[in-house]
Amino acid sequence: MRALAATAAATVLALTASGCVTVHGETALLPAVTKDEAAQALADFTAAYNRADKAHDPALDAGRVTGPLGAINQAGLRSRAVTNPGGNPNHQPLELTDARFVVPRKAGWPRWFLADTDSNRDVDQGRADQRWVLAFVRNGPQQLWEVAHLVVLSPQAVPEFAEEEGYAVPVAADSDAFAVAPEDLGAQYVAYLQDGKPGPYTAGPHTSLWREERQKGAKRPGLATQYIDRVADQGDFAPLGLRTKDGGAFVFFATRYFERQTAAAGYRPKVGPDIKALLTGDVKNTVTKEWVSDQVVLVKPAGTDRDGVTVAGRLQGVVGAVGS
């Protein structure tokens, strides 16, 4: 019995040391990932992304994407599998280098971390240097690391993150330490896009200018366009935030919006092949496109009533369409 007990104790210690088992893991504050594990997760994502992009096969990276990025990525691949069924003739392998991993500590699951990386996409397309910032999430010890959020930012737009004992500091969804709590960012963004009333969001390309673009395109000869915005914050669409050194927060959140185009009697809205590949129903005089939009914002500390939230970057894509 003593020998059996000693063997069992040794096994538990070995498993705990390897990270496979954590005693009272639901309450212990633990790093989300080691740097080596983060590097492997980034490599696995990149490899899967490249396989899927080359073949135009969403199944090849379905296990490495989730949340808003997953919705955008998978819909895009489904569309291109129809428009280019033989694969991507212009495939250029994505390279993510110079990775800086921003790792918070957290109790329980899900766990997550950021990868701030340099991409070869700006070089390939002749653009200024840009950083791909990816948020990896994992919902349990048996699951893979998946990328839920992705934005492309200039190096200057990536903030310095606050640290405690060498780790980034996560922001609670209901925190009152900021101009807007992370859980309320989506609702306030949707409200602004709908009514344009002054609020916490600063003017810019993803707020005031986007509303202006919508309004300009709302009524064209023979075609009316309506927009309906919705909050998307459940499951892997939930907001994720970290404290920044200046006392603010860097937060990802997602929304959905529906773009409904109605043609005048006797006409049909034009539907391109990429949208037609995702279309259900017949386009008689109306087509409704469903978009997912992924934002990252810089939020100022509490007490900032106006211009407390700046949209630093946004990624969006059509995920479905319905004709009627």
Can you spell out the DSSP letters for 36-105? Answer: HHHHHHHHHHHHHHHHHHHHT-GGGTGGGB-HHHHHHHHHHHHHHHHHSTT--TT-----EEEEEEE-BE
Q: Which residues contact 12 (CB under 8 A, 6 or more apart)?
A: 21
Averaged confidence pLDDT in the chain: 90
Cβ atoms of residues 56 and 77 within 8 Å: yes
pLDDT reading at 51 higher than 70: yes
Question: Minimum mean pLDDT among 73-87, 90-104, 117-131, 249-263: which range?
Answer: 117-131
179-188 tens-digit pLDDT? 999 999 999 9
Two structure tokens written together for 138? 């994992």
10-38 tens-digit pLDDT? 333 333 333 334 444 467 899 999 999 99
Mean pLDDT across the stretch 176-202? 96
- The CA distances from residue 250 to 105, 121, 209, 304, in Å, are 16, 24, 22, 16
Mean pLDDT across the stretch 223-242? 97
SS3 135: strand
Mean pLDDT across the stretch 123-151? 89
Q: How much is the pLDDT for 18?
A: 34
Cα distance between residue 61 and residue 51, in whole Å:
7
Mean pLDDT across the stretch 203-208? 97
**If pLDDT is split at 50, 70 and 90, which confidence band does 297 have?**
very high
**If pLDDT is split at 50, 70 and 90, which confidence band does 219 have?**
confident
Question: Minimum mean pLDDT among 23-27, 73-77, 217-221: which range?
Answer: 23-27
Q: How much is the pLDDT for 224?
A: 94
Mean pLDDT across the stretch 301-317? 93
Q: How much is the pLDDT for 198?
A: 87
Mean pLDDT across the stretch 89-96? 96
Mean pLDDT across the stretch 189-199? 94
